[in-house]
Amino acid sequence: MAQDRRTFLRVSAGVAATAAVGAVVYDRKRQADAAAPRWMPSAVRTPAGSRVAVLHRAAYDTAALEDDVARGLDMFALDVAGRRVVLKPNFVEYDPASVINTNPALVGVVAQAFKRMGARSVVVAEGPGHRRDNAYLLAESGLLDMLRDTRTPYVDLNMDDVVRVACRSHYTSLGELWLPRTIVEADLVVSMPKLKTHHWAGVTLSMKNLFGIMPGSVYGWPKNVLHQQGIENSILDISAALERPPFTIVDGIVGMEGNGPIQGTAVQSGVLIFGDDPVAVDASAARIMGVDPERVGYIAEAGRFLGNIGAARITQIGEPATGRTPPFELLHQHAGLRYAGS
Amino acid sequence: MAGRRVRTDARDEPQPRAIPDDLERALVAYIDATSVKAAGGGTSGGWAAVPGRTADPESTAWVLVARARAKEVAPAGWNAARDWLLARQRPDGSWVMRDGADFSTWPTLVALFAISLTSRDIESNRARERATTWALDEHSVTPSLWSRFLMRMLPQGESEAGVVLDATLDGFGWARGTFAWVEPTAMAMLALARQDSFADLKERVSVGARLLADRQSPDGGWNYGNKRVLGYDLPGYPDTTCWALLGLQAAVRSGAMTAAVAGPVATRGFALLSGGEPRRSTLTLSLETLARRAWADSSLALPDNATRIPALRTAVAKALEAQHEGYPMLETRTAVLALLALREVSL
């Protein structure tokens, strides 16, 4: 159909105006949707205030670590007598030239500490995300030697029996999650992440470490179903689905910056971080890395219902955290996670 | 022969058992230990990945593979794996790892492969046909036309995520509705290359083999699915590299890919396996032995498998020792693959 220029401009202006109005309406709806709670009341567990302990340690010296771990746990007066404790370190992959995993020496020290505290059982459990060859990871990473030395059992969560658990938040569209029986039946899960950057999520800490509990037998390798649902969405739904929040011990003695969590660079960050509010631990750990937790999508969202992220509601105990650790290098696409103006 | 014993300890700690000195017999004993008692007793309750867990179709299918390929050492009782699998095939022809969790797709590929190796009776053939039909209807996620257009517009063919691969190739993921990954796609090649009389079968195997070739990392090996992310090359892993080599060989054997195309790709893969990181893993050494065996009749210049068998024996012995202490160093499928590799039979 022939169309003169004036008609074209009039129609174009109309279309543009309609589009502009539509965009405003859409943007308001999007903001309203984003602000609307996506969790059930039973998922809310934010305490009135949280405590996070920071201890400085420059190397993985076992004797010194024993002292650190005893001090760190003592600050939270955990009662594990007669209880089943599951340690969930981060053993996603092994590369002899890299520092991907939670240091086995620290895992061993923590296992022994909980045994001394009277735990009925202490089990190390992991569902490695990348490689199905779990035995390879165990042997090559040194974790198997530590397990043998400390007589600590290990469960491969990828092949554990599973339990169906209803989601208490709905960031993914899954509605339910399949969790390993070892995790569901634990009285206390201890998340032991490495202090690392993450090329998709920004940082990987206590909550992201829980991705590793999800069984490969259900979700594949590397937990493809959950990646497809969105890493941040999945982190939130997994954290909310757990009956109890994990206790957290972050291995930040040597962290990873840059292209984490696999191909990043080792950084001597020199900290151990303890806490019973995983959101507060993640927020504090992010700050130590020079990252604003309010700008990390899943941490900010978790701060709305799972725990505290505001510095005013987190009491730092132990040793002063500030100024000891240089800001972590971030991939350029994560430059916006730094504090404004930094 | 007398077995060795390792230390014992408290109730909740790993419990040691006697370790048979005969590795093949020890592997058979381990696989027997993963069998699950049926409700009425007996061993037709399927096989689990590790002792004490729920039976699953993948582990059970590998037991059936062992029965087919290593009859001399695999007990006749392992034929019960066939009945267990057939009884649990879903109406759509698939198997899932965990009842109620309907994501997993790869167990169907393993079960199809196993049944194809062992059984030619009417019931098994029906199960094969249904599983093959299901597999041919199963597609990995590929980008929409719009996404493909955008990817072409980006510099150097990289997507926003910095992924460099031909995402239009249709393979197999670990789970329904997900992206194609190396190991399940290779397993599909092994399974589908053994079928016949299905329309599009050869084309599907051909596309799968092209996908495997496309996903080869710059170092010649295969990572789990991508070869480059966010501008960083991903390294080849030994185990996934072996799976890709097995999948490519299956495609060549079926005529879906020519040796002239697959050969150079495989040569680079084997070169990675011959160098690189030291391999002390039972799974990797078993797969490597099987991959070399699969390509033995090709014109590729491959080191003799004899160079790997001693290392494999050491790895198996160490894995058994740790396993007997209570550490999960073996899965049923690993034990089956090790058994086949030690006997130097083909997969």
Out of B13, B54, B277, the one facing A151 most closely (by C-beta) is: B13
Cβ density class A86-103: b for 16+ within 10 Å, e for less: bbbbbbbbbeeebbbbbb
A155–B331 CB contact, under 8 Å: no
- Phi/psi-derived region of residue A258, left when phi > 0, alpha when psi is between -120 and 50, beta in every other case: left
Out of B13, B50, B175, the one facing A153 most closely (by C-beta) is: B13
- Contact status, residue A124 vs residue A89, Cβ threshold 8 Å: yes
Cα–Cα distance list, A199 to A99, A185, B344 (Å): 15, 32, 42
pLDDT on residue A27: 64
How far apart (Å, rounded) are the C-alpha atoms in residues A4 and B193?
62
How far apart (Å, rounded) are the C-alpha atoms in residues A301 and A208?
13
CB contacts under 8 A, A 175-194 vs B, are 178
| Burial status of residue B224 (CB atoms within 10 A of its CB: 0-12, 13-18, 19 or more) | buried
pLDDT on residue B276: 61
B224–A96 CB contact, under 8 Å: no
| Burial status of residue B230 (CB atoms within 10 A of its CB: 0-12, 13-18, 19 or more) | middle
Out of B53, B284, B319, the one facing A159 most closely (by C-beta) is: B53
CA–CA–CA angle B137, B138, B140 (5° rounding): 140
pLDDT: is A279 or B159 the higher one? Answer: A279
Backbone angles phi, psi at A119, to 5 degrees: -60, 140
Out of B9, B100, B281, the one facing A136 most closely (by C-beta) is: B281
Asked if A217 reaches chain B (Cβ–Cβ under 8 Å), the answer is yes
Helix B332-342 × helix B309-324 angle, to 10°: 150
- Spell out which residues of chain B touch residue A140, defining contact as CB-CB under 8 Å: 280-281
Instruction: Give the closest-approach CA distance of A316 to chain B in angstroms.
Output: 36
Rounded mean pLDDT of A53-68? 97
State which H helix or E strand residue A31 sits in.
Answer: helix A5-35
pLDDT on residue A130: 81
Out of A153, A218, A220, the one facing B326 most closely (by C-beta) is: A153
- Contact status, residue A259 vs residue A244, Cβ threshold 8 Å: no
Out of B50, B174, B330, the one facing A221 most closely (by C-beta) is: B174
> Which are the contacts of A248, defined by CB distance < 8 A and separation ≥ 6?
A190, A191, A192, A193, A205, A206, A273, A274, A275, A276, A278, A281
- Contact status, residue B55 vs residue B48, Cβ threshold 8 Å: yes
> Which are the contacts of B220, defined by CB distance < 8 A and separation ≥ 6?
B236, B241, B268, B269, B271, B272
A133–B239 CB contact, under 8 Å: yes
Q: Which residues of chain B have pLDDT under 70?
A: 1-21, 40-44, 143-163, 276-279, 304-305
Q: Is the pLDDT of residue A342 over 80?
A: no
Bridge partners of B151? none
How far apart (Å, rounded) are the C-alpha atoms in residues A330 and B83?
54
- Single out the residue of A300, A252, A250, A310 nearest to residue A276, CA to CA: A250
How far apart (Å, rounded) are the C-alpha atoms in residues A282 and A277?
9
Asked if A120 reaches chain B (Cβ–Cβ under 8 Å), the answer is yes
B174–A218 CB contact, under 8 Å: no
B326–A144 CB contact, under 8 Å: no
pLDDT on residue B47: 97
First to last CA, chain A: 57
- Spell out which residues of chain A touch residue B98, defining contact as CB-CB under 8 Å: 162, 178, 217-218
Percent of chain A scoring above 90 in pLDDT: 82
Out of B97, B235, B327, the one facing A154 most closely (by C-beta) is: B327
Using omega within 30 degrees of 0 as the cis cutoff, is the peptide bond preceding A261 cis?
A: yes
Out of B178, B282, B330, the one facing A220 most closely (by C-beta) is: B178
pLDDT on residue B165: 82
Asked if A169 reaches chain B (Cβ–Cβ under 8 Å), the answer is no
CA–CA–CA angle A56, A62, A68 (5° rounding): 35
How far apart (Å, rounded) are the C-alpha atoms in residues B207 and B148?
18
CB contacts under 8 A, A 77-106 vs B, are 95-96
Q: What share of chain B is helix, strand, coil (3-state, %, to 5)?
A: 50, 5, 45
A135–B334 CB contact, under 8 Å: yes
pLDDT on residue A12: 45
pLDDT on residue B189: 97
- Spell out which residues of chain A touch residue B12, defining contact as CB-CB under 8 Å: 120-121, 153
Asked if A47 reaches chain B (Cβ–Cβ under 8 Å), the answer is no
At B7, is the secondary structure helix, strand, or coil?
Answer: coil
Q: Give the side-chain half-sphere CA count within 13 A for A24.
A: 5
Interface test with B, best of A123, A149, A184, A218 (most B CBs within 10 A): A218
B101–A218 CB contact, under 8 Å: yes
Q: Is the pLDDT of residue A11 over 60?
A: no
- Determine the residue of chain B that is closest to A155 in CA distance: B328
B173–A221 CB contact, under 8 Å: no
pLDDT on residue B151: 60
How far apart (Å, rounded) are the C-alpha atoms in residues A87 and B76?
41
Tens of pLDDT, residues A148-204 = 999 999 999 999 999 999 999 999 999 999 999 999 999 999 999 999 999 999 999
Instruction: Give the closest-approach CA distance of A95 to chain B in angstroms.
Output: 9
Q: What share of chain A is helix, strand, coil (3-state, %, to 5)?
A: 40, 20, 35
B173–A133 CB contact, under 8 Å: no
* Radius of gyration of chain B, Cα coordinates, nearest whole angstrom: 20
Tens of pLDDT, residues B232-267 = 889 999 999 999 999 999 999 999 999 999 999 999
Using omega within 30 degrees of 0 as the cis cutoff, is the peptide bond preceding A222 cis?
A: yes
Confidence label for A1 from pLDDT (cuts 50, 70 and 90): very low
CB contacts under 8 A, A 294-333 vs B, are 331, 333
How far apart (Å, rounded) are the C-alpha atoms in residues B290 and B12?
38
B14–A151 CB contact, under 8 Å: yes
Q: Is the pLDDT of residue A23 over 50?
A: yes
Interface test with B, best of A224, A226, A231, A262 (most B CBs within 10 A): A224
Instruction: Report residue A158 as tokens.
Output: 């990828």
pLDDT on residue A53: 98
Tens of pLDDT, residues A69-84 = 999 999 999 999 999 9
| Tokens 């109309």 belong to residue | A14
- Contact status, residue B181 vs residue B225, Cβ threshold 8 Å: yes
- Spell out which residues of chain A touch residue B56, defining contact as CB-CB under 8 Å: 217
- Determine the residue of chain B that is closest to A178 in CA distance: B101
| Burial status of residue B4 (CB atoms within 10 A of its CB: 0-12, 13-18, 19 or more) | exposed
State which H helix or E strand residue A80 sits in.
Answer: none
Asked if A225 reaches chain B (Cβ–Cβ under 8 Å), the answer is yes
Confidence label for A20 from pLDDT (cuts 50, 70 and 90): low
At B167, is the secondary structure helix, strand, or coil?
Answer: coil
- Contact status, residue A262 vs residue A268, Cβ threshold 8 Å: no
Out of B9, B141, B282, the one facing A151 most closely (by C-beta) is: B9
- Determine the residue of chain B that is closest to A126 in CA distance: B328
pLDDT on residue B199: 81
pLDDT on residue A28: 63
Helix B80-88 × helix B106-118 angle, to 10°: 140
CB neighbourhood size of B71 (10 A): 12
How far apart (Å, rounded) are the C-alpha atoms in residues A67 and A47?
28
ipTM computed for the complex: 0.88
How far apart (Å, rounded) are the C-alpha atoms in residues A113 and B193?
54
- Contact status, residue A149 vs residue A108, Cβ threshold 8 Å: yes
B329–A160 CB contact, under 8 Å: no
- Single out the residue of A96, A89, A101 nearest to residue B279, CA to CA: A96
- Spell out which residues of chain A touch residue B230, defining contact as CB-CB under 8 Å: 199, 259, 331, 333
CA A229 to chain centre: 17
Bridge partners of A52? A275, A316
CB neighbourhood size of B138 (10 A): 22
pLDDT on residue B102: 87
Q: Is the pLDDT of residue A122 over 50?
A: yes
